[in-house]
Amino acid sequence: MKSTIRFSSARADFFTTLNQRVNDYFKTNKISRYANMEMKIKTVVMFSIYTLPYILMITGVVTNVWLMLGLCIVMGFGMAGIGLSVMHDANHGGYSNKPWVNNFLGFSLNIIGGNAFNWKVQHNVLHHTYTNIHDVDEDISPRGILRMTPYGPWKRFHKFQHMYAWFFYGLLTLVWVVVKDFVRIIRYHKDGLIKKQKTNIVTEWAVLLASKVVYIGYIFVLPALLLDVTWWQILVGFLAMHYVGGFILAIIFQPAHVIDGTEYPMPDDDGKMENSWAIHQLLTTTNFANNNRILNWYVGGLNFQVEHHLFPNICHVHYRKISAIVKYTAEEFGLPYKSEPTFIGALVSHAKLLKQLGSRPDVVLEPQRVPVHY
């Protein structure tokens, strides 16, 4: 099937100019666009937040069940931190100029229960290429219980989604680990995405199943064998860890694209997008809390989503510095540079759009169904 979704080449001078200016920034300052010492220290910290609580429990240093539950919650923060600050950069190829380093650190997603291959297809290929395009960007559609695009089918319960969405956000990583990884690898194989990534289905199934076995082994089997706890206490700890981790990931990623003022561009009948890819990213992406240094440190610079979407292969520790270049260039070309001043403001704006999308529409928009060859 030949691809019919394609971006316009009009105003390509914007990204050409921006790319040159960003490259000049790194060249002039004689710094690498990859991880620096700050990033390497952060990597150790994030893995420690996840692994040290586990070690304290599995070695019997901490035996009180309430303290153990607290440590499981801390592991949830560590799990989210690894995903936001380490795995994310590595699987974008932005952690190191050495592919093996990126692959090694990117595989950390498998160690915490996910699947790096599925993530790279869903995130790098589909989300970053077709941001906010209905039925292509899996981050917004289809969602079933949540309506995150004006093109999605409306159900009566959607009118309450701005209230109940927050509960379901905590189930994000749990659903990935238990269900989505298996569903996605089957779908990606059917859609030809496995072959497109220059691998084969047997290899990816083997890696997925083996890493799930290892994960189950150290999360469930070892605690059951070594600790004086019941199976349901282990399960409660597991659920608490994932609920915290999933909730953190959801409230960081959702305000970046599903927020009041965002756009949902669709191709015309011939599959052509109105704007170039770079301008499309500006229309569909929003920054938030750019002056919050603590948040920026923990979330891996993903509050600088505009910079990340335009330069996903640059390590996030540089986003704060290049953001001035991106903003200036966008304004120079008369293009939007969307940003919410605070994190709370971004969440409120996200809830506002959820409420708007959850209201019964007079007419449900019907997008042109354009086939895509990945």
Each residue of 282-317: pLDDT tens digit?
999 999 999 999 999 999 999 999 999 999 999 999
- pLDDT at 30 (0 to 100): 96
- pLDDT tens-digit readout, 128-142: 999 999 989 988 876
C-alpha distances in Å from residue 214, one per residue of 12, 120, 121, 297, 318: 47, 21, 23, 30, 35
pLDDT at position 1, please? Answer: 31
**DSSP secondary structure code for residue 157 in this structure:** G
Q: Token pair of 168, please?
A: 């379901």
Q: What is the pLDDT of residue 141?
A: 73
pTM, rounded to two decimals: 0.92
* pLDDT at 48 exceeding the cut of 90: yes
- In whole numbers, what is the pLDDT of the chain averaged over residues? 93
DSSP labels, 236-296: HHHHHHHHHHHHHHHHHHHHHHSSTT-------TTSB-SS-HHHHHHHH--EE-TT-HHHH
Whether 373 shows a pLDDT value over 60: the answer reads no
Query: For the chain, what are the domain ranges?
Result: 13-358
pLDDT of 326 reads 98
Least confident of 21-30, 191-200, 332-341: 191-200
Q: What pLDDT is recorded for position 368?
A: 54
The pLDDT tens digits for 174-186 are: 999 999 999 999 9
